[in-house]
Amino acid sequence: MDLGGGVRLRKTAQVPLFALLLVSRRFVVCAILALLLFVLTIAKPGLCAPAQEPDSRPNFRQLLQKLADYSPDPCGPPYGREEDWHSGDAELRLFDQAQQAITQQLNASAEGSRPPRDRAEDALKKLEATSAEINAAWPEENRFRYQIVDLSPVLVVKMGIRTHETFFVFGIPEEDSGKANQLWRDLGSGDASAEHGVLQLSLEVYPLHRGPSGKMRFLARFGLSGCAGPTGVEYDAREWNGESVGGLEQIIKQAGSFGLDGNVPGFPQIGKFRTEGSLITLPYCWYSSIDTWDNPSLCTVDTYDLSGDNVKFRSRVYNRPDLVPIAKAIDYAEKRDYHAVLGYCASSEVARGLVRDITPDVFFTEDIRVMPTGNGKERVKLGYGTFDVEKRAGHWVVVAFKLE
């Protein structure tokens, strides 16, 4: 009994240890299985869902399909649909998709022996064909379109959809994020619509004279307009140093306006647009307090010197220099900027009087009368005010004024 009981006691003592080992192994296995099941549950439909999740951004084709719901021209038929005016976000995303397609094609290893322009055009032709398919109901001039300006070592690509045009610049910078680089990159772009919120934005790209260091330069001239009324113009000149992605610098920026027909009696437009050679001229007009209708009266032409490595402003010529000091003085007087007003007046007394007395509605007028009063002297009747101006040391200044 004792022996048997001892044996039983020994077996009884050994069973818990064996069972414990068996249970421990089963516990570990079950725990692992449970953990895997938990991971599978929370990661469904895949263990690496964040990495494998498809890009939710619409691609080029999907964006074209979205734009197909709009009229080809926001100012064309069917008229009166305000929703046709708010496609800017989709258009900008479409241009970004085009930029990515061009960059990818430029860097395709199998295409390395072909000229960069040809590679870029391959990508653009595919995008153009896609738009011709999806936007077949649109006029050809409103579908996706492009123009390549080869300004070695860069390509400037102008592209458009509907009545919106923009540009992208592609090149191979020496470095990218501080590392040596041999790939084509998007160096920058230009789009006047974001700043001005216009419905129609046209674009032309012009090569510019390169300075002694040979840096690439070009000018983008944007035409801006709504569905009616005067048009705007914006000049945007860029230069690239060839060194980095961020090396595309804006060297000229000037905005202005043009009237409906460019014909304001007594206020001829001045200057011609010119981009050839080392001296370029950029004409434009602007709205002021002496306008007599929905046309800007005062116009100018700016000249820039591109002969050196640094672009320099050369001169500004006005169509009516005798009336510029009146318009400028009124503008700054309404802002109560005495020192700016003083720059257009013959004395501090006149400048203080303008700042004190000018109100925004005083000079609204449909007529302006200029009467010579002597050599280099004029009296200008404008709205409820009369100004005397004189030419002194080659510049016109306000010498007196009176409000009725």
251, 217: one domain: yes
Percent of the chain with pLDDT over 90: 62
What's residue 32's pLDDT? 43
332, 396: one domain: yes
> Does any domain span residue 37?
no
For the stretch 200-213, pLDDT in tens is: 889 999 999 999 99
What's residue 188's pLDDT? 93
Question: Is 246 a residue whose pLDDT tops 80?
Answer: yes
Question: Is 26 a residue whose pLDDT tops 60?
Answer: no
Look at residues 299, 318, 337 and tell me which one is the last residue of a structural domain.
318
Q: Mean pLDDT for the chain? A: 84
> Does any domain span residue 29?
no
| pLDDT (mean) for 300-307 | 98
What's residue 200's pLDDT? 86
194, 272: one domain: yes
What's residue 10's pLDDT? 34
150-173 burial, b if ≥16 CB within 10 A, otherwise e?
A: ebeebbbbbbbbbbbbbbbbbbbb
> Does any domain span residue 233?
yes
339, 291: one domain: no
What distance, in Å, lies between the first and last C-alpha atoms of the chain? 136
Look at residues 296, 318, 340 and tell me which one is the last residue of a structural domain.
318
270, 177: one domain: yes
293, 337: one domain: no
Q: Are 369 and 291 in contact (CB under 8 A)?
A: no
Task: Tell me the CA distances in angstroms from 256 to 73, 242, 259, 280, one per residue in order.
Answer: 24, 31, 10, 17
* Weakest mean pLDDT among 77-91, 110-124, 327-341, 372-386: 77-91
235, 305: one domain: yes
270, 345: one domain: no
* pLDDT class of 42 with cuts at 50, 70, 90: very low
346, 281: one domain: no
Cβ-based neighbours of 270, under 8 Å, separated by 6 or more: 283, 299, 300, 301, 317, 318, 319
Distance CA 275, CA 104 (A): 32
What's residue 80's pLDDT? 53
Look at residues 318, 341, 357 and tell me which one is the last residue of a structural domain.
318
Residue type, 287: Y
| pLDDT (mean) for 43-72 | 70
> Which residue, among 291, 382, 393, 392, has the nearest Cα to 401 in the 3D structure?
382
202, 144: one domain: yes
How many contiguous H segments (helices) and E segments (strands) does the chain have? 9, 17
96, 188: one domain: yes
* Weakest mean pLDDT among 152-161, 291-300, 303-312, 371-380: 291-300
| pLDDT (mean) for 45-63 | 63
Please give the distance of CA 372 from its chain centroid, rounded to a whole number. 46
> Does any domain span residue 390?
yes
Distance CA 227, CA 246 (A): 36
What's residue 397's pLDDT? 98
> Does any domain span residue 292?
yes
* pLDDT class of 8 with cuts at 50, 70, 90: very low
> Does any domain span residue 293?
yes
Question: Is 88 a residue whose pLDDT tops 50?
Answer: yes
255, 276: one domain: yes
Percent of the chain with pLDDT over 70: 80
> Does any domain span residue 194?
yes
> Does any domain span residue 8?
no
- CB neighbour class for 268 (10 Å; exposed up to 12, middle 13-18, buried from 19): exposed
Question: Is 40 a residue whose pLDDT tops 90?
Answer: no
- Domain of 283 in residue numbering reads as 57-318
Q: Output the DSSP codes for 155-218.
A: EEEEEEETTEEEEEEEE--SEETTEE--S-EEEEEE-SHHHH--SEEEEEEEE----TT--EEE
Q: Output the DSSP codes for 321-367.
A: TTTHHHHHHHHHHHTT-HHHHHTTBSSHHHHHHHHHH--TTTT--S-
Residue predicted with more confidence, 222 or 113: 222
Question: Is 341 a residue whose pLDDT tops 60?
Answer: yes
What are the strands, taking DSSP E only, across 208-278?
216-225, 231-240, 248-258
Number of structural domains the chain divides into:
2
| pLDDT (mean) for 79-103 | 83
Distance CA 256, CA 236 (A): 12
* pLDDT class of 169 with cuts at 50, 70, 90: very high
For the stretch 93-152, pLDDT in tens is: 999 999 999 999 999 976 668 899 999 999 999 999 999 999 999 999 999 999 999 999
Residue predicted with more confidence, 115 or 9: 115
Question: Is 306 a residue whose pLDDT tops 50?
Answer: yes
